[in-house]
A and B are shown apart, each in its own frame.
Chain A
């Protein structure tokens, strides 16, 4: 009997604990639902913004490779998620109306850089609403970026506007409204909403 006693005690212990369900223990009262919802929202604060600022884009223009961009965006990971290699998307999502009138819930902006071997360096901040695009252009205007040129692209980009600033000599900002910000990549396989693309490069002399 003395050999079986520990086993029997164990079984009884199991029976006593059997009535408790961990999941049921974690249930809340219906009256407390408001409190729980509010506490959860406060515990996981949302992103504070939708796009990068003009100052940040100017700083980013010094980057010439992906690790540099990753390091820069890592500090802003509360607002931007590194979804895939070379693809950053704003954590804040909202409804964007496409040309058919459909409402799409998508990130408000993205920052993509080229990662393909042999491809020319390209880094573009794509904004998905006109209001945010105007806001960013206004920020660049504060940094004294003025329109100096525009060219028409027959590759689906429409007019591309170039801006220069005396404060940042050598930097060229190009901005365009397009339905083809990146060719078949990430969010942009089938684009049905207008995208506003901002690219900032040091001029090659």
Chain B
């Protein structure tokens, strides 16, 4: 009996140690390379970009809550950069479409840059999507407009 309890303890300690060391390594990598190492349940972090006929938009959601927002409108060539912060309100409602998570982006003056529902976000263990996607939508009405952003290498 004691032996099994010991094995269980070793297993729990191994899992805990693994997660702890992974976290330490991740933070160190992030610090040294100025990137976000994305893990389970934080898939929204990182740099996202979208290109369309009307222009180009790219934003980076930093781990510390800061936001870097870049955009350019066609046919112009100038890229504007806005710094600020973001708020990600998680999906407490699980898969219920009434409870999409929301993403608020706010500039340094406190003005809202955008306030969108996260209609779709590629999960960490997803094997179907070849590229990470985030779909933002102005509303949670089924089957309406959504903007697709792709994860960009930082």
A interface, CB within 8 angstroms of B: 4, 7, 10-11, 14-15, 18-19, 21-24, 26-30, 33-34, 36-37, 40, 81, 83, 89, 91, 93, 105-107
B:14-69 near A, CB below 8 Å: 14, 17-18, 21-22, 25-26, 29, 35, 37-39, 43, 46-47, 49-51, 58
Q: With A10-B14, A11-B17, A15-B21 in contact, do A27 and B151 touch (Cβ < 8 Å)?
A: yes
**Judging by beta carbons under 8 Å apart, are A83 and B142 in contact?**
yes
CB distance from B16 to the nearest CB of A (A): 11
CA distance A50 to B112 in the complex (A): 35
B:47-102 near A, CB below 8 Å: 47, 49-51, 58
The 8 Å CB contact of A93, one of B29, B143, B151, is B143
CA distance A33 to B57 in the complex (A): 11
**Judging by beta carbons under 8 Å apart, are A26 and B21 in contact?**
no
**Judging by beta carbons under 8 Å apart, are B18 and A23 in contact?**
no
CB distance from B17 to the nearest CB of A (A): 7
Q: Write out the residue numbers on chain B whose beta carbons fall within 8 Å of the beta carbon of A7.
A: 10-11, 14
CA distance A29 to B51 in the complex (A): 13
CB distance from A14 to the nearest CB of B (A): 4
Q: Write out the residue numbers on chain B whose beta carbons fall within 8 Å of the beta carbon of A36.
A: 131, 150
CA distance A40 to B50 in the complex (A): 12
Is B125's CB within 8 Å of the partner chain A? Answer: yes
CB distance from B124 to the nearest CB of A (A): 5
**Judging by beta carbons under 8 Å apart, are B18 and A29 in contact?**
no
Is B130's CB within 8 Å of the partner chain A? Answer: yes
The 8 Å CB contact of B152, one of A14, A18, A29, A83, is A29
| CB closest chain-B residue, reference A26 | B132
Number of residues on chain B facing chain A (CB within 8 A): 39
Q: With A18-B25, A26-B132 in contact, do A40 and B151 touch (Cβ < 8 Å)?
A: no
The 8 Å CB contact of A19, one of B14, B29, B38, B153, is B29
Q: With A11-B18, A23-B43 in contact, do A83 and B132 touch (Cβ < 8 Å)?
A: no
Q: With A14-B18, A18-B25, A93-B145 in contact, do A23 and B151 touch (Cβ < 8 Å)?
A: yes
Q: Write out the residue numbers on chain A whose beta carbons fall within 8 Å of the beta carbon of B151.
A: 23-24, 26-28
Q: Write out the residue numbers on chain B whose beta carbons fall within 8 Å of the beta carbon of A4.
A: 10
**Judging by beta carbons under 8 Å apart, are B49 and A30 in contact?**
yes
Q: Write out the residue numbers on chain A whose beta carbons fall within 8 Å of the beta carbon of B11.
A: 7
Q: With A11-B18, A29-B153 in contact, do A24 and B37 touch (Cβ < 8 Å)?
A: yes
Q: Write out the residue numbers on chain A whose beta carbons fall within 8 Å of the beta carbon of B107.
A: none
CA distance A37 to B22 in the complex (A): 33
Q: Write out the residue numbers on chain B whose beta carbons fall within 8 Å of the beta carbon of A105.
A: 144-145
**Judging by beta carbons under 8 Å apart, are A26 and B145 in contact?**
no
Is B148's CB within 8 Å of the partner chain A? Answer: yes
B:121-154 near A, CB below 8 Å: 122, 124-126, 129-132, 142-145, 148, 150-154
Q: With A10-B14, A11-B18, A93-B144 in contact, do A33 and B37 touch (Cβ < 8 Å)?
A: no
Q: Write out the residue numbers on chain B whose beta carbons fall within 8 Å of the beta carbon of A28.
A: 131, 150-153
10 contacts between A and B (CB under 8 A): A11-B17, A18-B25, A23-B38, A24-B37, A26-B130, A27-B154, A28-B150, A33-B150, A37-B148, A107-B143
